[in-house]
Structure 1
Amino acid sequence: MIDTGANETCVFCEIVAGRIPCDKVAEDATTLAFMDIDPGADGHLLVIPKQHSADLLSVSPEDLTATTLVAQRIAQAMYAQLGAEGVNLLNCCGTAGWQTVFHFHLHVIPRYRDRSKDRMELPFEPGLPSDADARAQYARLLSAVL
């Protein structure tokens, strides 16, 4: 087992340590994938790095890469094994970004046209254009520090 920098108050660190059970889907030296206990769609799961990082802003580039590559493999399996018609890859960062467990994780959510298998709905209405001046200002602010 790698040193996780685990925190006994982190439920995902407890899952990595084997003290809380999970429905494991995949595991390697760096990552763990397991079923979400509150799924938005049939087959919704989480991929986490075993090394504790609170969120997207603090996860190491190596753990981010490993986690994302596992999520991609799982998404491919969701099409083949679950009949998914789409997949959402979601990270929630910070409380305002809907993060509730402060251990970096990716939600891999298979999507289906069949609403009995897919309970997720967009929280916003896509297709409504934004203000062009505001977009340009956001682009300037962000590109200035990148």
Structure 2
Amino acid sequence: MKEKDCIFCKIANGEIPSATIYEDPDFRVILDLSPASRGHALILPKNHFADLCSLDERTAEKVLSVAAKIGAAMKKSLNCSGFNVVQNNGTAAGQTVFHFHVHVIPRYDNGPVMVAWEPGKASAEELAEVANQIKGELQ
């Protein structure tokens, strides 16, 4: 399943050159052209899925192990102190290319603040109401 006009399908399948750091039968991992930090990588499935909700089970099961492998290699080779694994779904969440992909972003001591938010507050009643709304869709 590939989409002929999808740039990430073309990159993942080797039609467009990239700085590839890992490849297996299901994924190609490339360095991001607009990195948030040195070594920022994208995990691209070779098959097309618009977002996490359309991902097949086999791909979903494998993607986190690929992220862990890439993150561990980053820590050793780039001497970063940690890494973020980020996956955006929908425009409101920051998704700009509608081909499922995962960002693996190396984090360095004293580096810029990224992937952060101010914790909010919610009452027990509000949490219960929201939990019931979500649970209703899961049944």
Give yes or no for TM over 0.5: yes
The number of equivalent residue pairs is 138
1:125 aligns with 2:121: no
Measured in 2, the distance between the counterparts of 1:51 and 1:122 equals: 27
TM-score normalised per structure 1: 0.86
Distance 1:138 1:44 in 2: 34
Displacement over 4 Å in runs of 4+: none
1:49-64 equivalent positions in 2, closer than 5 A: 49-64=45-60
Match of 1:137 among 110, 129, 135: 129
- In structure 2, stretches of 5+ residues that fail to align are none
More helix by share: 2
Give the 3 Å change call, closer, same or farther, for CA 122–13 of structure 1 in structure 2: closer
Corresponding position of 2:38: 42
Q: Superposition RMSD on alpha carbons, in Å?
A: 1.6
Q: Of 3, 7, 30, which residue of structure 2 is paired with 1:11?
A: 7
For 1:89 and 1:123, how far apart are their aligned partners in 2?
13
**Structure 2 residue 20 is the aligned partner of structure 1 residue 28:** no
Q: CA deviation at 1:114?
A: 3.1
Q: Mean alpha-carbon deviation: is it higher for 134-143 or for 89-98? A: 134-143
Structure 1: how far apart are the matches of 2:93 and 2:25? 29
TM-score computed with the length of structure 2 as normaliser? 0.90
Aligned to 2:69: 73
